[in-house]
A and B are shown apart, each in its own frame.
Chain A
């Protein structure tokens, strides 16, 4: 017994379609598209198996049975394909009535196919064992088949030109190719009964599998890339299995059997390696997608932070303006009064205006501190370092400003000049002045007897400024919070200087830090004075 090519192609189409349907469905059982593809594959497989049975059977009873299988499978193909296409293109709601109609028509045709109106008999044609003898209403089958396939094609082409989704376009292109081979070839099976022509295109049906597989691999139809390999291998297995089963003699059997075993092993290995590769690629694609998503999230967040940062800066700028502008004129008018611009003033008024000036200056200092703290806490660059800055004149200016405060408290403020001139350092003159002012002023505030001595020394690459006072001293517990921006002072400190806020030292610490320097305090404890150390890098 031997097979004709017609029979073999029908058998391969049947097996491969069956396998393709199951393979696709098993990848994602929740997908409705995959489910419809499973049904289409089953109907194609049923039709092809029926075809094989009809042309292969040697007795009429068998052939008659397979003809029923062929007809039922064949009728369902256009109905299921039409439904599948509309679900794939998400047009099922729009075409719901037509889908229902196709199913009703399909069911009527199936019922009809068991009657003499559909087929009267089967008989040998074109060298094929059996072939259908059509009844009076058989023409409805090719008519309906052509109608729904044409409608599906129309919808596919329409969406193809409407969509901007590149992947969907490629999928649709290959679906159209598959149709040309599958349905173009399949439709020739109507030829013997309609035009007395041989069904020459039947061989082409197998090509629809190739097209769908290509679409699956290259263009992610069904999100599966493995299917083509599996189908190809499976088709070869089926082909060789058939050859083994119908070997002419023993030698042929051994050769075919050996070949089958070899191809079986090689095919298994091939599927495994492709499977691994596909998994790996999918994993990498997933990672790339996640990375892209993370990058986008980060990009958005960065833009928002920048926006927020800009808003904060604007707020700070506005605050500076709104606070300082009235303070400027307050101080200005006080200055004009005190310098006699508005005439001579009595000592009592002068005393009051001087107090007003002190309060205004204090308010200016508070505003400056608040703005500095805000800028530091926003991470703004508030220091512009310059090389070659001489520290001594800065220190002198600060000490000149503070000497009256020390004098009014009855304490000394000494500067022990170094023997040799100090080397220049990296500094921002204005900001360093603020830092030194705060630290020395702090010493004055918390010293009631004795005084403050300022010394400087040069280390390897640093310049150290020390402010030693004979004040209330600092306990080890208090030390940690001094430059930390906690703004909470110790009990003793509150007693000695009631209006302090603890902001000055924080600002000094931040300024020195921005100078790439160090600041710390040493004290032997309560009542034993403190020494503040400031180290700045030399130019």
Chain B
């Protein structure tokens, strides 16, 4: 069974390039384009027993709420608190990085440093 990745990202070209690569690497990708929708999906896991993702790729700047808020929600719920999260962003801000690590994000990746294949390899390595 394919491992599921929640890809929380709002920029369409970015979604396309990473999604293709991740799917080629054998992962199932569920794209979530806003922070609030992400929070809804996370709650559904706890409340409706929806399938839990094996890993979350989380952008920080989303159209509504920021990624750190989404991460807080993930860590709050018993059912989702242990899901590995990689922050995938275009911000190299140290404060945000710290906030992410404080909420147990495993990696803080700069999108421009991680071309699709490199990211797919990293995810594969983590979920081996």
Contacts and interface: CB of A to CB of B under 8 A. Distances in A.
Nearest to A335: B115
Interface string B109-120: 011100111000
Given A329-B11, A384-B97, A336 B90 contact: no
Interface string B14-56: 1011101100100000000000000000000000000000000
B117 A328 contact: no
A336 B116 contact: yes
B92 A329 contact: no
B112 A335 contact: no
B92 A332 contact: no
Contacts of B97: 384
Interface string A253-284: 00000000000000000000000000000000
Interface of B: 11, 13-14, 16-18, 20-21, 24, 61, 90-94, 97-98, 110-112, 115-117
23 contacts: A320-B91, A321-B61, A321-B91, A324-B110, A325-B111, A328-B13, A328-B90, A329-B14, A329-B16, A332-B17, A332-B115, A332-B116, A333-B17, A335-B17, A335-B116, A335-B117, A336-B20, A341-B21, A364-B112, A367-B112, A371-B92, A382-B92, A384-B98
Contacts of B117: 335, 339
A317 interface: yes
Nearest to B113: A364
Contacts of A331: 112, 115
B11 A325 contact: yes
Interface in A357-384: 364, 367-368, 371, 381-384
A368 B112 contact: yes
Interface residues on A, range: 20 to 34
B91 A335 contact: no
Given A324-B90, A328-B11, A371-B92, 6 more contacts: A324-B112, A325-B14, A327-B112, A335-B17, A335-B117, A382-B94
Contacts of B110: 324
Nearest to A313: B93
A329 to B, nearest CB: 3
Interface in A303-350: 317, 320-321, 324-329, 331-336, 339, 341
A333 B21 CA distance: 10
Nearest to B96: A317
Closest CB pairs A-B (n = 4):
A332-B17, A329-B13, A324-B90, A328-B111
Contacts of A367: 112
Nearest to B88: A328
Nearest to B61: A321
Contacts, number: 70
A382 B96 CA distance: 12
A335 B90 contact: no
A229 to B, nearest CB: 63
A387 B18 CA distance: 34
Nearest to A331: B115
Contacts of B93: 317, 320
Nearest to A332: B17
A339 B20 CA distance: 11
Nearest to A357: B115
Contacts of A383: 94
Which of B61, B110, B112, B116 has the largest count of A CB atoms less than 10 A from its CB?
Answer: B112
Contacts of B111: 324-325, 328
A231 B36 CA distance: 80
Most buried by B among A332, A333, A383, A384: A332
Interface string A369-404: 001000000000111100000000000000000000
Contacts of A333: 13, 17
Contacts of A341: 20-21, 24
A381 B14 contact: no
A327 B17 CA distance: 12
